[in-house]
Amino acid sequence: MKHGMVLAAGLGTRMRPLTATTAKPLLRVRGRSLLDHALDRLAEAGVEQVVVNAHWRAERVAEALSARATPPQTRLQLEPDLLETGGGVRRALPLLGEAPFAVVNGDAFWLDGPRPALERLRDAFDPARMDALLLMVRTSTIEGEVGRGDFHMDPWGRLRRPAQHEQAAYLFGGVQVMAPALVAPEPQGRFSLNRCFDRALAAGRLFGLVHDGWWFHLSTPPDLARTERRLAAMSAPDASGR
């Protein structure tokens, strides 16, 4: 898996006023932008080339990419018209190659478990059975509002949407490996990846992998503040001084 994409074009309206003058992926956690965290994780997983799309405050995203001096190599995809998640990936397909690739939401922030999440997704992805493999987070472990959740998952990892008035057990963590075939049938233009997910669900080709580390919900300014407090507490020495 040598290619990847970071989705950094969203408006980040729920994170206002913090995103009034900057893109949401440029907000910082522990002194480093969410975009840098995502690119670092992709590089650690062996990804060499990453497309980063940008719309809101695109000039700030361009400056951040220019300032990086470490892998992976990045290519900025400017989107004068907002294409949403699916449209952004669809437009980037010529740059992403014909093999499965990683896609990370620009506001996704997580701590790995015993093995890095992106490596686990890469190794578990089976193109013969899957169009996409999504990182799943148990809703019971998430601090902050998660609504009804996103998916249920059977023992083999196959996903389904919750029925009306049903609470789903898992939230999509914004990290995935997908085959180009997930978005290739769609015409160029604006659309959500959820449209592609629903097509893969109908074909039994959308799967999930449960995250075994920490995942942080970053939707509003209080979420960001809570994440900083939690990370500080996790790194603080205990009563013994360790």
Q: State pLDDT tens for residues 120-161.
A: 999 999 999 999 999 999 988 887 677 788 899 999 999 999
Q: State how far the Cα of 176 lies from the Cα of 117, in Å rounded to an integer.
A: 9
What pLDDT score does 142 carry? 82
Name the pLDDT band for 237 (thresholds 50, 70, 90): low
Amino acid (1-letter code) at residue 15: M
Q: How does pLDDT run across 15-73, given as a tens digit for each residue? A: 999 999 999 999 999 999 999 999 999 999 999 999 999 999 999 999 999 999 999 99
Q: How does pLDDT run across 214-236, given as a tens digit for each residue? A: 999 899 999 999 999 999 998 76
H or E stretch covering 184:
none
Arithmetic mean of pLDDT, 185-201: 96
Structure tokens at 211: 């995250």
What pLDDT score does 148 carry? 80
> Bridge-partner residues for 139, per DSSP?
none
Assess whether pLDDT exceeds 60 at residue 241: no
Answer yes or no: are the C-beta atoms of 135 and 208 closer than 8 Å: yes
Chain centroid offset of residue 137 CA: 12
Answer yes or no: are the C-beta atoms of 159 and 206 closer than 8 Å: yes
Domain spans of the chain?
3-235
Considering the domain 3-235 in this protein, what is its CATH number? 3.90.550.10
Please name the residues in contact with 196: beta carbons below 8 A apart, sequence gap of 6 or more. 86, 131, 132, 182, 183, 186
